[in-house]
Each structure stands twice: as C-alpha cells, then as structure tokens.
Structure 1
Amino acid sequence: MNQTTRIDLSEGDSNLSVNRTGWTDKLNPATRELLKRDAAVFLHQSLSTPCINVLETCSGSYLTDISGRKFLDFHGNSVHQVGFSNPDVTAAITRQIEELSFCTRRYTNIKAIELAETLTSLASGNLSKVLFAPGATSSIGMALKLARAATGRHKTISMWDSFHGASLDAISIGGESLFRKNMGPLLPGTEHVPPPEPYRCLFNDSGDCGQCNLKCAGYIDYVLEKEQDVAAVIAEPIRCTYITPPPPGFWESVRRSCDRYGTLLIFDETAVCMGRTGTMFAFENYNTIPDMVVIGKGLGGGIMPISALIANADLDIAPDKALGHYTHEKSPVACAAALATIEYIQTHDLLNKSRTLGKQALKRLRDLKSRYRIIGDVRGQGLMFGIELVKDHQTKTPACTAADKVMYQCLELGLSFKVSKGNFLTLTPPLTISEKELEHAFNILDQALSDI
C-alpha cells in the first residue's frame, strides 16, 4: 500500500504525501527555513502544519509567496468571494477601527444592527432573527442549542462525508473520519445518513436520479418516522468540497418530511454563502427555506472572521438561555467588513457573474472530460466546480495518486486549488475573477492533466 492510500483524504489534500516532499525540496532556502521555524512551534496536524509555502501578499485572485512567485488561487478556504485584500472592505475596516474598535457585551453598535437588518432583508421567508459569532463552528453550536430549546429534543440527522467544523459538537454531526476517528464519545443521538451523491449513489447504480424516486430523501423520511423525536436535520445544501449539487426535488422532499415529524431543517452554508452558487444564499437554488441557516467564511470579506446564525422568528423562544454569548459576537469591525462585502457583491453584480462564468467553467470542464479518460465526472454550481479523477469509468475507482500529482503540477505552473476525498479537484475562484484569469487557470489544468 502506498503512502497516499494510507492517509485520510476525506476533507482535503494531505501534507504528508510524497509529492509534498518533492514540492518542499524545490523551495528556496529562505522559504524552507521559515517553514522549518513554523513547524517547530505549531502543533502538527493533518491538512495544514507542516505548511506548503510562506506567503507575503495576497490581492484579487492571486497569492504571492516570499520568493515573488504568484499563484492564481482557486482554493481560498472559501473566504475570497470578493477577492483578496478587497479595497472597499479594507477601507471599511480602517474607518471602523478609528471610530469604534470593540463593543463589549451588554452593548450593541450601529454596524451590528445594520448587518443583522441587511442579512434578514436578504434572507427568504421568516428568517428574521440573527446571532453573530467569531466563527461558523460556534454558530453551528448555537443552532444545535436552539434546536434543542425549541423542540425539547436532542437527536439530529446529518450526513456522512459532511463537514460542520472541528469542535467536538461539530464533529459529532459531521461525517468525516479525519475528524471523528478515535476521538472518544461524541454527542449522543447524532444519526447519520448517506448524502445525495448521484455519481456514487448507494441506492441506484445507474446514476440516473429520475429512476429511483429520490430514495436518498426517502431514507431520511424513514429515519424520521422510526425515531419520531429528531430535533433537526442539519446539512450543507450543496457539499462544498467534492462539489455535488443535490438531485432535483431532494430538499423539497426533505423539507416536507421535517414538517411532517416536527423536525427543524438547518442549512450549513458556511462555505457556500455570499454568492458562491450564483445566489446570495445557496438554498435559494433549491426552492427550500430552512428554519435556520448558518453562514460564515466569505461573510467577512476574506479578512475578518465573522459568522451568523439566521433563524425563523418563531424560534425566538429562549430569552433565559445563553445560546452563544461570545466575546466578539457583535464586533463592529467585523460587521463593517461584512456590510462592505455585501455591498460590493451587489454593486458589482457578482451574483450574475458567478452564474455566467460558472456555466462557462462547466463547459470547459466537459471539454476536458471528453479528452481525458481519467476524468470520471465534472460538476458544479456557480463559481464552485471541479472534476473527479478515476482509474476506470466502470468501477469509478478513485485516482488519488494522479490527483495529488496534478495538484502539485498545477502549483508549479501557478494555480492553487484543493483536492477533496483524495481524487476530486475542487476549484473555487473568487467571484471577482476575470474571464482571462479563468481561461488561464483552465489552460494550466489542461497542461497538468496532459503531463500526468
């Protein structure tokens, strides 16, 4: 068994692969020395430390390392919807720091109120109550607590292969072994179901979702009926790592099942909010309004950490409980960044751009698929898309070694992206990307696939 197959690749590309070692060996001495210092003081963990490179600047669609090499970034940890170092966002942050840099608990501030009002005006239905937190994992925790308070139940249904954060409560509902394995007792009552995944469907080998009458959604209904006391179904409306849009009608069916059994529906849009899918909220693509939605990452413009729980007003039923109560929950600086981010998205029509360029991207990916048999599937929505590499189209055996090689070859050529589940090349450019930059990225990818 080679090294790649021994490493857990459920969430992202490993920092322990043979190709990583080869990449590091080619870096200049100054970079290697800084990476050595970094590795000496940070706890080592999968996916990150030891790190891949040392950055000096980031701007627009590009990262620049300390040796001056530039990389088109189609990774961005899903925070760069308005590009890196967006001047409107940085200006808003600078102004706010000079006016009110911090807001202690028990007080509020104008920017926090304005952001809450803006988010609820953008959300659908009765999603009109908000709580903020410094990170989305914390907002997931608030959503779980509110679901318990509102229903008097504690059980949840979530999906295998999902990611909701790295804290113990978040990995309890998450479905990736990288975070759960050997972690001891997790939250009780956290049931898991298979995700809707047409290319690798457990219920229908043909991959034709029209043939099985949405058995994936029917399974959730089955579990809800058997359990009878589930507080919430919590899921990503579209999986952001190995990007998989749900089959038509899936979420509408789950919504009906939740209503039937008195179960809340919570969407985790941490990585896909703020226009990534071509709409401000991803759930707008699926004709389904959740009872709660969690957003984060790109909300702070790629600079300030901030997340939000947006809930149905009918769930404002816990005035005697501390659902969050975080020190920086109403950070005026983070709220100013979020307001500037939303305004930039709207002013520059980035939602339409995400849809338009996303269609162009899928067309280009399908062209690559027609020319490279190693590509088993291409999929995406808006400006999040990617390709699944397989050894054989019939068995769909993941081509993990090839995917790792392609990623490092692309890095050599100036394109950065993430590999998910070992064999899916996940491409998430900023919504500000130009058509020329997008074309350049695909040319690099084409060359790397040809080389491999």
Structure 2
Amino acid sequence: MNQDKEVNKLQGQNKRTEGDINGTVARQEWAAGITDIKTKKLLKKDARYFFHQALSTPCLDVLGDCKGAYIENISGKKYLDFHGNNVHQLGFSHPKLVQRLTEQLQGLTFSTRRYTNETAINFAEKLTSILPSDLNRVLMTPNGSSAIGIALKLARAITGKFKVVSFWDSFHGASLDAISVGGEAVFREYMGPMMPGIERIPPPVSYRGIFEGDQNKCLEHLEYVFAKEGDIGAFIAETVRNTDVQLPSVEFWKDARALCDKYGVILILDEIPIALGRTGKMFAFEHYDIEPDILCLGKGLGGGIFPQAAIVTRDRYNQFPDISLGHYTHEKSPLGAMAALTTLEIIEEEKILHKVAGDSLTMFTAINILKDKYGLIGDVRGRGLLWGVELVKDRNTKEKAVHQAEQVMYECLKNGLSFKVSAGNVLQLAPALTISRKELKNAIQILDNALASVSN
C-alpha cells in the first residue's frame, strides 16, 4: 500500500512538469472568489462546450481586451501578463501590426497552394537576411508543432536515418510527433506507442538533476548515445529551455555542435518560444556562436495576433522537390506573412533588442535581491526577459516547494500579475518585450509582496 502511494505521488509530480495546477484546492478557491455574474456564467459555458484538458481547463478568467503588457478581464481588471503563451514579444495589439493586418484584409486574404504572393516572398527574404551563412530556405506553417514535424521529416530525408536524440523535460509541441520527441510526461499519458527511434537523455541543467550541474557529463552521455546507436539522424533541443528556464553554457553548445558534425547528425534547434528577442538576441543560438542545421520558429512570429510558424534550413538541403515536407493549407498565408514581416520590422525599428538588454540587468538585480531576502528562493536563472525563479523548501536539500509556488502564483494573480508555474516549483517570468521599466518594477513589487505573504 505504501509503495502504491509513493508511485501515485511520483506520477502526480510528473504531471506538474508543465505546471498542471488546474485541479487543486487553490484553483477551486480562486474560482469560488469570482463574484462577477457575467464572468461566472461565461466560465460555466466555457466548461460546458470546450473539451476539457490539462493545463487549460478550467479557465482562470474571461478576457475582454489586451493591450501592451496587459490582459484585461470583462470586469475591467488588468493583469500584467508574464506568460502570454510566449507570443507577446511586441506586447498585445501593437498598433502598427493591427494597421498592417487591417490593410492586408482589404486585399489578398488567402493564397491558394501552387501560387505565391509578394507578402510571403518579402517575409522569407527578410527572415533569411537576418540569419547567418546559408540558413536561407524557408517553409511556413500555421503552428509550432507542425514546424517541428517538418524539421523531423527533413532530417530523415537528408540523412536517411529516423532516430532522434532529445532531452527529458523538453517541450516541442503537442502533436503526436512533437510529444514523441518531447520529454514531458503529461503529454504522453494514454497515448500508447510513440514515434519509434527516440533516444532521450537527461538535460544539462545547472541547479539539479543527475549530472548535478556538470554539463560535461551531459556531453559525454550525448556522445555515448551517438556512438553506440551509430544511426542517429537528428538531435533536437531548445537552445534555452523555456519552461523552467535552463541556460546551457557556451562550451556545452559549441561541443554539442561539434559532436553533431562528427557523427553526421542534423542539429534542430527549437526556438519557437524564445527567438525574436526574448533572450536579448534575435535568435538564442547567437549567444553561443553556433548555427543550427534546421531552426524552428513560431509563437511570437505572428506578433501575438496571427498564428504563424516556420522552419529555416540550409540552402544545400534544398534537394527534395519530389516530396511534400510541409503541405499545409495556409502554407503562404498573406496574413501570416504580413504579421511575421511586420513583427521583424518592429523589433528592428523600436530597437527592442537594445531595450531588452537593459531590462535584463533590471530583472537580474531585482530578482537576486529577492533571493537574498527570501530563503524560499533556491535558484534564479535567466537572460533577457526570460527568467525562472525556483522555489524550494530547503536550499540544502533543494526539495521543491510546489505548494508554496502555487500560493505565490495565486497571490500575484489577486494583485494583477499573471505568470506560469513550470516543473511544479519554478515561477516562469516572461513579460512583453515592450513592457515599460515602471511596469516591470511594479510586477517585481507584486512578486515581492506575494513571497513575503507566503514566507510568513
């Protein structure tokens, strides 16, 4: 009986890898605290008509508007959104983007397959112009999961090998092929056999894990798998892990890139949530002075308005005209292309990368002050405007403070700050890149107050 309880406890922890906090007592208390009659009615209808799933049901609130760094419910309450599903590099409802999409709606609204359009061509030209060397071949697709699927298919075509190495705890999307290479248990439950040939290895985490922060051990493990398997076609990874914010060292990525070259493995970098300035560079791999063979982009590529993703690969891999790698209906969507093109232009015009560099220092200083102040914080890690604050019961044992993390989240929600809890105990803080310094400091103060309340 005790063994069964322990197994159930471990399974419950696995389900929290993406912050599954929808069925807890705290969530019930939050729902009970909603008093607006229209909100309660709409939440009830939402629960009636939408399919229930982990991570998004039941809903927290009913939104009526979103602008800049804020989302706003139908009662007029505003939340600084430090989650935003990672689509809000430009903030919400950026006026230039709204204008451009409105103009596009007056002209070409759909591009039938086997035809092209100038907007899509201009986007592809712009995207490849800001990428290094021969990363200049693009395929557009409506969402990040399908970008991952295209990348996996292309790697098979290039190498003639179907085996893939990925990291445990990684997230690459929710489709069956994406969860096959992903490492989060909650997405694979009930799914049965996954795509064959997936070899997962422990990630190069710096704070906990079986390598205890020694990323060289992870590299040894990676090479061991490459050598022993002998027929690995691709290595897929998030350049910087988004959910609980893990930052591999420069040496790690340089050596991993070298191992891929040594064993003839295609390096697929998933930057769907972290590109376009989130880490302070247009692309996160620029921090490491490496290049991927295939780059996956999405989420913020549509400017937080239109769903748009893409893969970019090397010119020399453009050798498969007889197969369909990404045969999607909205392959060259004029609206998606306009959203993506305008997003890239705004990042440059508003000097967002320069702004994020300054914001990064503000976040680093402020969050480390909180770490000195509260023993509940075991580790702080981040770059740009992507930060993880890991809460622990004890800094020596590093036992996860799962309950306290949830308490902090709801305390922040009450006071107008929204974010996601990842890995059960990591507060993931990812605001709009256009957030003002005043708004940023306001958010930190809300977090400070919540930590004080929970710590006491």
* TM-score, structure 1 as length reference: 0.97
The reply on whether 1:112 has 2:120 as its aligned counterpart is: yes
How does 1:120-159 map onto structure 2 within 5 Å? Answer: 120-159=128-167
1: CA distance, partners of 2:250 / 2:270: 19
Opposite residue 182 of structure 1, the aligned amino acid is Y
State the aligned residue count: 446
The reply on whether 1:180 has 2:188 as its aligned counterpart is: yes
The answer on whether the counterparts of 2:172 and 2:178 sit within 8 Å (CA) in structure 1 is: yes
How does 1:44-443 map onto structure 2 within 5 Å? Answer: 44-204=52-212, 207=213, 209=214, 214-443=216-445
2: CA distance, partners of 1:158 / 1:135: 20
Opposite residue 21 of structure 1, the aligned amino acid is Q
Runs of 4+ off more than 3 Å? 1-7
The answer on whether the counterparts of 1:270 and 1:294 sit within 8 Å (CA) in structure 2 is: yes
Return the offset for 1:352: 1.2
Return the offset for 1:181: 2.5
2: CA distance, partners of 1:124 / 1:263: 20
Cα deviations by residue, 1:50-101 (Å, 9 ceiling, x for unpaired)? 2111000000001110111010110000000001000011111011111101
Return the offset for 1:110: 0.5
Classify the secondary structure of the residue corresponding to 1:125.
coil
Opposite residue 133 of structure 1, the aligned amino acid is T
Return the offset for 1:394: 1.2
The answer on whether the counterparts of 1:4 and 1:401 sit within 8 Å (CA) in structure 2 is: no
The answer on whether the counterparts of 1:172 and 1:187 sit within 8 Å (CA) in structure 2 is: yes
The answer on whether the counterparts of 1:136 and 1:308 sit within 8 Å (CA) in structure 2 is: yes
Return the offset for 1:248: 2.9
The reply on whether 1:20 has 2:27 as its aligned counterpart is: yes
Cα deviations by residue, 1:246-297 (Å, 9 ceiling, x for unpaired)? 0231111111101111110000000001110111111111111010000000
1: CA distance, partners of 2:182 / 2:44: 32
1: CA distance, partners of 2:286 / 2:188: 31
1: CA distance, partners of 2:211 / 2:53: 35
The reply on whether 1:6 has 2:12 as its aligned counterpart is: yes
Cα deviations by residue, 1:161-217 (Å, 9 ceiling, x for unpaired)? 00111111000000000001331011110100111101014223xx4x4xx7x1111
Alignment RMSD = 1.4
Opposite residue 432 of structure 1, the aligned amino acid is T
Cα deviations by residue, 1:356-408 (Å, 9 ceiling, x for unpaired)? 10121011111000010010000001110120000111111100000001000
Classify the secondary structure of the residue corresponding to 1:249.
helix
Opposite residue 381 of structure 1, the aligned amino acid is R
Opposite residue 333 of structure 1, the aligned amino acid is L
The answer on whether the counterparts of 2:137 and 2:315 sit within 8 Å (CA) in structure 1 is: yes
Return the offset for 1:317: 1.5
Return the offset for 1:29: 2.2
The answer on whether the counterparts of 1:139 and 1:294 sit within 8 Å (CA) in structure 2 is: yes
Opposite residue 197 of structure 2, the aligned amino acid is G
The answer on whether the counterparts of 1:198 and 1:247 sit within 8 Å (CA) in structure 2 is: no
Opposite residue 89 of structure 2, the aligned amino acid is Q
Classify the secondary structure of the residue corresponding to 2:106.
helix
Opposite residue 167 of structure 2, the aligned amino acid is M
1: CA distance, partners of 2:435 / 2:191: 40
How does 1:32-51 map onto structure 2 within 5 Å? Answer: 32-51=40-59
Return the offset for 1:4: 11
Classify the secondary structure of the residue corresponding to 2:381.
strand
2: CA distance, partners of 1:53 / 1:225: 50
Cα deviations by residue, 1:9-35 (Å, 9 ceiling, x for unpaired)? 111242111111111111122211110
Return the offset for 1:218: 1.8
The percentage of aligned residue pairs carrying the same residue is 51
Cα deviations by residue, 1:415-444 (Å, 9 ceiling, x for unpaired)? 000000110000000110010000000000
